[in-house]
Structure formats: structure tokens, C-alpha cells
Amino acid sequence: MENRKQLKWGGWSGTLAFDRSLSGFVREHIFGIAWIALTLLSLAVRWRGFPTESSDYQHFLLPWFQELKKSGGFAALGRPVGNYNFPYLTILAALTYLPVPPLFSIKAVSILFDYVGAAAGARIVYSLASNKKKGELLAAAAWLCILFHPVVFINSAFWGQCDFIYVSFLLLCIKELIRESYVPAFVWFSFALAFKLQAVFFLPVLLILYFTNRSHSVVHYLIIPLGVSVLSIPALVAGRPVTDIFKIYLEQTQFKQLVSHFPGLYYLLMGTYSQYAVVGICLCVVFLGAGAVLWISYQKSVREENILLLGMWASSVCTYFLPSMHERYSFLTVVLSVLYMLSVRKDRLPAVLIAAGWSFTTMLTCVNAVNMANKIPVDYIALSAVNLVLVAAVTWLMIRRATENTSSD
């Protein structure tokens, strides 16, 4: 009887030792475990969106995919298919060889870049933190904020769009700009532009850096057409003329609709393309030029976190004042506003409100773009007014930073 009791208590002793080890492991790695669990949850959220067929998928992405597959995959890149840039069409051509439904493969690529972009964003926030421990916490926050941001997972998993591809490359560009590694920064920028013309919204930041920091050469800008051309090689090999690489950008600017569901200036003006398009373009150039002159006049350099602020400001001005903007063109502004909110060391409350505002207005319009059959009643004039306040707020922050005293410089 005593032997049995000893064996029984011995078993309990072993169990208690295991419990102590497990408890100690969990306590020591609690943040890592939570990070992994939440990352898996973000995948589960995206999995829910896989079966959704958006209007863009049905009318554009799927027909392009089918045409590429019918015409021989990569060989079909030699003829005009769709109106997206060559690198994305090359990805679509590669997907035609996979034994999976196009809806899943197309969305899988977009979702992959959700995680690439989240990693780049986390790295930016980490590099801007005042110390390592704070940097690790803020980087984890950036990772999760991006992955669970409705605008992000709606764009990739539900809509099937690919905006985080070019934004991921822009974030990698910003990461290198912070490190003052200009060759890789311009390579990443060229890749972003190769995928989406909207990457040009970030170009004013590069120009401001050129005239203030004076740490890179005009020669670096030659990397941009070179990088775009390199990513277009599969289409060139298939037979597309070299001129088509840049001709497609011109074709994308021929869209003569004043508004395309983005709540910008033109919902307030209520006119036609011929009436207001040139006015809006001129206003955009004037605002960007005035901001650049202000910054160049007052500052000898652009501090690290201000690269995010300038990017947010330039992209918000472009999307608000330029004609023919789609609802998802504020994607870059949304992502940069979240990263700036996490990185800024003062004016935290305005940064939080700006990030929340851009997230809210963009989310509403993007939900309606995906769910065309059951749209949420949205007053686009009211949203346009809200976005105008947001542009003004970002501009106010930009002016504060441009005119602040930097005696340490």
C-alpha cells in the first residue's frame, strides 16, 4: 500500500514539475506566443475573404487571367492584356501554371504582400524607437495594426486587389532612406513604380530629401527607369516593345472621369472633368510645391520620422486634389498614417486622430467597392469634407515640422 502511495505521489510530482516548466516557458515567452497566435488569427481573417468575388475580380482580374492562360501563360505577355503594369501581369501569367483556382492564387499573392508590408512597417517603427525594448513593442504593434487593419485585409483577401505590393516596396524604400542607403532605396522605389503609377505620390519626398539632406545624387534617379525596365523583362522577351513599358503609364492617365468613388475635392465642386480637372491638377502642384519650398527654406535635413509625415502629406494631397482617383488610392496614406502614429514622439494625439480619420473614410468606401450589391449608405460629400479636414491637419503638422527650430543641425 505504501509503495502504491509513493508511486502515486511520485507521478504527481512529475506532473507538477511539468506544470512548473510549462508555466515558466509561457511566462518567459508570453509576448512571442501572443504574437504567433495573433498572426495566425490574421490569416484566419483573410481566409474568410477568399471565397468573395469582387466586381474587379469578375470584370478585370479573372478575364485577364483567363486570356493569359488561353494564350500560353508567359508567351501571352507579348500582346496587350489588361491595363495593369507588366510586373503584375507577369505574376498573373506565372499563376496560370498553378493547379489552383485563380481566385485563390490571385488573392494569395496579395495576402503575401500584406505580411511583407507589415514586416517592413514594423522594421521602420523599430528603427525610429528611442530604445530597443520600446522598439520591439512598437514593432509588434505596427505588425498587428497593419495586419488587422480593415483597409489592408479588405483590399487583399476580399477585394483581390494588389495595392500593398507597391506600398510594400515604398515601405522598404523608406526603411533604406532612414538608413541613408540611397541605392537600395531608389531600387525599391523603382519596383513600387513598376507595379503601380500611384507610387509617384511619394516622389515629392525624394525631391525634398535631395534638396535638404543633400546626401544623394541626381544620378540615383536614373535607377528608377532602370528598375522599372528590369521588372518588365519577361514582357519584353515575350515581344512587347520597350516603349510599351512607359506607354502604359500614359494610358492610365487617360481616364477622363472626374471622380471614381474617392471622396475628394470633386464631390464638393460637383462639376465635369473638363471644368475642374486642370484646376485640381494645378492645385495639387501648387500645394506640393509650396510645401517643398517651405521645407527646403527652413530645414537643412529631413529627420527620420518626418519622412513618414512627408509621405503621408504628399500622398494625401495627391489623392485629394487629383482627378480620377479611385477609393483605394488612399491606401498609402492610411498605412503611413498608422506608422507615423506609432513613431511620432510629439503631437501624438493629432497623429492618432489623423490615422483614425483616414482609416475610417477609406474603409467605408472600400467596403462599398467590394460589396456592390449591398452598399452601406454613405454621404460622399460629407466624407469629402472630412478628408479635406484630414488633409488640412496633415498639412498643419507638416508646416509645424518644417518651421520648427532645429538648432542641433
pLDDT tens digits for range 315-340: 999 999 999 899 999 999 999 999 99
Residue 362, C-alpha cell as written in the block: 477609406
Q: Could you report how far apart the first and last alpha carbons of the chain are, in Å?
A: 83
Give the span between the Cα atoms of 68 and 238, in whole angstroms: 12
Cα-Cα-Cα-Cα dihedral of 233, 236, 240, 241, to 10°? 100
pLDDT per position as a tens digit, 343-369: 998 888 999 999 999 999 999 999 888
How would residue 4 be classed by pLDDT, with cut points 50, 70 and 90? very low
pLDDT of 258 above 90: no
The pLDDT value recorded for residue 372 is 59
Residues 6+ away with beta carbon under 8 Å from 75: 238
The better pLDDT of the pair 204, 19 is held by 204
Please tell me whether residue 20 adopts helix, strand or coil conformation.
Answer: helix
Say how far residue 219 (Cα) sits from the centre of its chain: 27
pLDDT per position as a tens digit, 176-229: 999 999 999 999 999 999 999 999 999 999 999 999 988 889 999 999 999 999
Closest CA to 186 of 157, 220, 161, 212: 220
- Mean pLDDT value across residues 146-152: 96
How would residue 375 be classed by pLDDT, with cut points 50, 70 and 90? confident
Residues 6+ away with beta carbon under 8 Å from 189: 169, 170, 173, 199, 202, 206, 223, 224, 227
Tell me which residue has cell 505580411: 115
Residues 6+ away with beta carbon under 8 Å from 107: 49, 50, 156, 157, 160
Residue 216, C-alpha cell as written in the block: 544623394
The pLDDT value recorded for residue 255 is 75
Q: Are 231 and 196 in contact (CB under 8 A)?
A: no
Cα-Cα-Cα-Cα dihedral of 307, 169, 351, 206, to 10°? 20
Please tell me whether residue 262 adopts helix, strand or coil conformation.
Answer: coil
The pLDDT value recorded for residue 368 is 83
Query: Distances in Å between the alpha carbon of 278 and those of 213, 250, 251, 285, 322?
Result: 32, 16, 18, 11, 9
The better pLDDT of the pair 28, 274 is held by 274
In this prediction the pTM is 0.92
Say how far residue 407 (Cα) sits from the centre of its chain: 34
| Rounded CA Rg of the chain | 24
Residues 6+ away with beta carbon under 8 Å from 286: none
Angle at 253 between CA 251 and CA 255, to 5 degrees: 95
Q: What is the DSSP letter of 161?
A: -
The pLDDT value recorded for residue 13 is 57
Give the span between the Cα atoms of 328 and 321, in whole angstroms: 15
H or E element that contains 260: strand 259-260
- Mean pLDDT value across residues 38-50: 95
Cα-Cα-Cα-Cα dihedral of 201, 202, 207, 210, to 10°? 180
pLDDT of 111 above 60: yes
* One-letter identity of residue 392: A
Give the span between the Cα atoms of 171 and 177, in whole angstroms: 10
The better pLDDT of the pair 80, 97 is held by 97
Residue 15, C-alpha cell as written in the block: 506532473
How would residue 1 be classed by pLDDT, with cut points 50, 70 and 90? very low
Give the span between the Cα atoms of 122 and 310, in whole angstroms: 19
pLDDT per position as a tens digit, 45-75: 999 999 999 889 999 999 999 999 999 999 9
* One-letter identity of residue 260: S
